[in-house]
Structure 1
Amino acid sequence: MTRAPRVVRRGRAATALLAAGLALGLAGCGGVGQPAPYDSPGINGLVVPTPSPEPADFVDAVDNPWLALEPGARRTYDVGDGARDLGTIEVEVLEATVPVAGLDATAVRTTTDLDDGTGRTTSVETRLYAQDTAGNVWLVGADGADGGTGSWRAGEDAAQAGLAMPADPRLGDGWLAYDVPGLPRASSTIEDQSAALVQLRNEAGTTTRTVYEKGAGLVGLVDLDDGWTAEPAD
């Protein structure tokens, strides 16, 4: 298996752009940069969601530069609301793959340790990703928090895989992140971007804004409902 490039830390320019984007995001609008060219193919031709992925259409590694997932990579994000530190979010790409609809999916485990106002709680969720031959990354399954509600696999019980990150992001494109009976339909929209950063608005019961840096992956998250932000720890 060919491994994806290793996750790198943000440079100063990216840090400044992210800070501006997240500050504006909390006010309800984007701000990471200027529009990408509109002649970009974006998600044209993709069927999203897709009920049952075809294994022949997928590759072994997830190396999309916006969402590269190298087995063994780990990153910690500090969470705060501006007035206080609320905890951490740790994201780890697991070494072992998980079979989903004939694919060997890459597993990403997220451990959230936050003070929710009533006390500190910890939850663990795993999401399963696969990349197609064109470079688009798909969400093909999940194990819900602590293995409970929210677990699904594409192609089972009418669950359909959705797009996690297109190979060629384009401003204004939107898609379903998954479609699973019994769960809120999850969608993402590219609401701002520059040559280095892409900002998504995500709806799945709650509303979040995520910022991705090319070559580094996720570099920031804003929970627009609860008002906290998460940025990579130093």
Structure 2
Amino acid sequence: MLAPMVRAVRRLAGLAAAGVLAGALAGCGGIGQPAPYDSTGINGLVIPTPSPDPGDFVAGVDNPWLPLEPQAAWRYDVTEAGRSVGTIEAEVAAGTTEVAGLRATALQVTTTIDGETEEETRLYAQDEDGNVWLVGVDPGTGPSWRAGEGGAEAGLAMPARPRLGDGWLTYAVPALPQASTTVEDQSREMVQMRSQEEGEADTATRTVYEKGVGLVSIEDLDAGWLAQRVD
């Protein structure tokens, strides 16, 4: 059970402070209406980006769909078929970490399933337009990577203005399978995304975000478990 959970956590665009959202966790869409609300989406962005310009980025991440306030901490309960199987705990580090000249925000994630624990640190940087990029990962197992090193390229974690139907790569790292995300449902206050990782065993995850709050649910569409924000 642990391996599918850890793979899914690594595919996420981010774990952000959130409140429980009833009614948006069924995994079959229906959170809103099929309208982009005049969003420009990802128009004009180069994804993945091989050489982000530090002058185009800011310190901190305050995108309303993916807020990462320093030292914020929260937890998700994970259930499968109505049974509690573990937790996901997340904490935003104080300060920033330099990646390719950018001031990245570190998100530390601890996943405990059936008594087994893995830790991972994900690094995010926000550009001046409000788009959030995944610029590095230190996993509990597997290769670490940083944008600009060894052919690794930063992918998009969350656009400033998500738009229904938009899709993008979440990273491009030679040693890792390709991972992509698509906006599959949307309302004025909610965005639902589907993330797909391609490899020997394709896997898919559905995530729901609330504007001004962050990530409120994670569903592994293959393993059948659901992680829900509880505090």
* TM-score relative to the length of structure 1: 0.86
Q: Structure 1 runs of 4+ off > 4 angstroms?
A: none
Instruction: Give the structure 1 partner of residue 90 of structure 2.
Output: 91
Residues in 2 aligned to 1:81 and 1:50: alpha-carbon distance in whole angstroms: 37
Instruction: Give the structure 2 partner of residue 76 of structure 1.
Output: 75
Instruction: Give the structure 2 partner of residue 16 of structure 1.
Output: 22
Instruction: Give the structure 2 partner of residue 33 of structure 1.
Output: 32
| Secondary structure of the corresponding residue to residue 16 of structure 1 | coil
- Matched to 2:206, the amino acid is R
**2:102 and 2:125 in contact (8 A); partners too:** yes
**2:208 and 2:217 in contact (8 A); partners too:** yes
Residues 175 and 60 (structure 1 numbering): CA distance in 2 closer, same or farther, change over 3 Å? same
Residues in 2 aligned to 1:68 and 1:214: alpha-carbon distance in whole angstroms: 9
- Matched to 1:182, the amino acid is A
Cα deviation, residue 207, structure 1 = 1.0
Instruction: Give the structure 1 partner of residue 209 of structure 2.
Output: 212
1:142 partnered with 2:141? no
Cα deviation, residue 8, structure 1 = 5.6
Residues 192 and 150 (structure 1 numbering): CA distance in 2 closer, same or farther, change over 3 Å? farther
| Count of matched residue pairs | 212
1:34-64 deviation line (CA, Å, top 9, x unaligned): 1233642100000000012110000112100
Residue identity (%): 63
**1:42 and 1:169 in contact (8 A); partners too:** yes
Q: How does 1:1-234 map to 2 (within 5 A)?
A: 7=17, 9-10=19-20, 15-18=21-24, 22-23=25-26, 25=27, 29-37=28-36, 39-115=38-114, 120-145=115-140, 148-205=141-198, 206-234=203-231
Which of these two proteins has the greater Rg computed from alpha carbons?
A: 1
Residues 96 and 110 (structure 1 numbering): CA distance in 2 closer, same or farther, change over 3 Å? same
Instruction: Give the structure 2 partner of residue 3 of structure 1.
Output: none
| Secondary structure of the corresponding residue to residue 215 of structure 1 | coil
**2:36 and 2:186 in contact (8 A); partners too:** no
Residues in 1 aligned to 2:222 and 2:17: alpha-carbon distance in whole angstroms: 29
**2:59 and 2:96 in contact (8 A); partners too:** no
CA RMSD of aligned residues (A): 1.5
**2:136 and 2:144 in contact (8 A); partners too:** yes
| Secondary structure of the corresponding residue to residue 22 of structure 2 | helix
1:175-228 deviation line (CA, Å, top 9, x unaligned): 000000010111000000111110110112521101100011010000111100
Cα deviation, residue 166, structure 1 = 0.3
Residues 81 and 8 (structure 1 numbering): CA distance in 2 closer, same or farther, change over 3 Å? closer
- Matched to 1:199, the amino acid is Q
Cα deviation, residue 81, structure 1 = 1.0
**1:7 and 1:215 in contact (8 A); partners too:** no
- Higher RCO (CA-CA < 8 Å; seq separation 6+): 2
Unaligned runs of 5+ in 1: 1-5
Unaligned runs of 5+ in 2: 1-15
Residues in 1 aligned to 2:194 and 2:97: alpha-carbon distance in whole angstroms: 28
